[in-house]
Amino acid sequence: MGDYCKHRDSDYRDPDWPRGLYRRGVSFRFRRMAGGRRIFQVWGQMPEGDAIRKASRYNMDIEDGRMPVEERARREMTFESFAREVWLKKKAAEVR
C-alpha cells in the first residue's frame, strides 16, 4: 500500500528535472506560478525527454515574461472562434 500511494497518488519530482515538472503514475504534469497566476497542466503519458523539453520551453517563456504557448492560445480564443471550432462541430456530430 505504501508504494502504491507514493508512486501513483502523489506527485514525484526528480531533482534533475526543470522547475515545475512533476510525475504522477505515468502522467507528467507542469505546475508553476507565473505573473500572479497558477499554471497547471496535465500532459498525460509521454516520453520523459519530451516532458523535460516541454517544461524547459515553458520555463523559458515564463522567465521572458510571457505565458506558455498553450496558455496564450487558450486565453486568446474568442467567442466567435469557440463557436466555429468547437460548438458547431459538436452540434454537427450530434445531428449526424
SS3 32: strand
- Using an 8 Å Cβ cutoff, are 66 and 51 in contact? no
* Long-range CB contacts (within 8 A, 24+) of 58-67: 58/20, 58/30, 58/32, 59/18, 59/19, 59/20, 59/32, 62/32, 62/34, 62/35, 65/35, 67/34, 67/35, 67/37, 67/39
Dump pLDDT digits (tens) for 64-85.
877 775 655 566 667 777 777 7
Q: Is 48's pLDDT higher than 90?
A: yes
Measured CA to CA, the distance from residue 13 to residue 21 in angstroms comes to 7
Dump pLDDT digits (tens) for 17-45.
999 999 998 899 998 887 777 888 888 89
